[in-house]
Amino acid sequence: GDSVTQTEGPVTVSESESLIINCTYSATSIAYPNLFWYVRYPGEGLQLLLKVITAGQKGSSRGFEATYNKETTSFHLQKASVQESDSAVYYCALGSNYNQGKLIFGQGTKLSIKP
Amino acid sequence: EAAVTQSPRNKVTVTGGNVTLSCRQTNSHNYMYWYRQDTGHGLRLIHYSYGAGNLQIGDVPDGYKATRTTQEDFFLLLELASPSQTSLYFCASSDVGNTEVFFGKGTRLTVV
């Protein structure tokens, strides 16, 4: 079936250090998978951080990057230098191009930044 | 700005109780969704709809009903609530195709 697995949390990183949150997916019933990173700040709903709909492409937003790797079925989230404001829960998700609200989510990774 | 509003934000009910969670979107979107989020599971799709009067089954529908009364309003109904339905519920809306999805802030439901 379709599934998403991401780094188990919680993760703590010191401010200005680099970050990677791993995400791998299995898309057996989706012909052309779209991949997403969503973020949820405390007390807020999920917000789209970045998305990539074509294998081999990279998405970026707010200093975060992720590359859609079809060979390794991965979509890892990276940031070179984190800030305290990056503290949040990050979700990797898999969807189709036709209906991008019908998503398969990873379990979420809670990120805390140490000042 | 696109908006999805959920009510109530917090709810406590007893086992066997009847609960309705409400969601309203002002985005003129066709699609609306109900997800639940539990520790260790991420968000899982309960039901969704692509228009007033339409209902589609998601991945974890057991124990839930839903109704889309208008384009704006989507309700999730728990007619015999059980402790296993204690969760954080998110509503979302989107349009067809390659468009952004907007989420509400969530409703925390506790069944005691």
Interface test with B, best of A3, A34, A100 (most B CBs within 10 A): A100
What digits encode the pLDDT tens for the residues A56-95?
999 999 999 999 999 999 999 999 999 999 999 999 999 9
Q: Cβ–Cβ of A103/B37 closer than 8 Å?
A: no
**CA nearest to A45 within chain B:** B105
- CA distance to partner chain B, nearest, from residue A16 (Å): 28
- Asked whether A76 and A20 are in contact (CB, 8 A), the reply is yes
How many angstroms separate the CA atoms of B71 and A25, rounded?
Answer: 33
Residues contacting residue A37 through CB under 8 Å, at least 6 positions apart: A23, A48, A49, A50, A51, A59, A64, A66, A75, A77, A90, A91, A92, A93
Rounded Cα gap, residues B63 and B10, in angstroms: 19
pLDDT over 90 (residue A97):
no
For residue B98, the distance in angstroms to the closest alpha carbon of chain A comes to: 6
Is pLDDT above 70 for A110?
yes
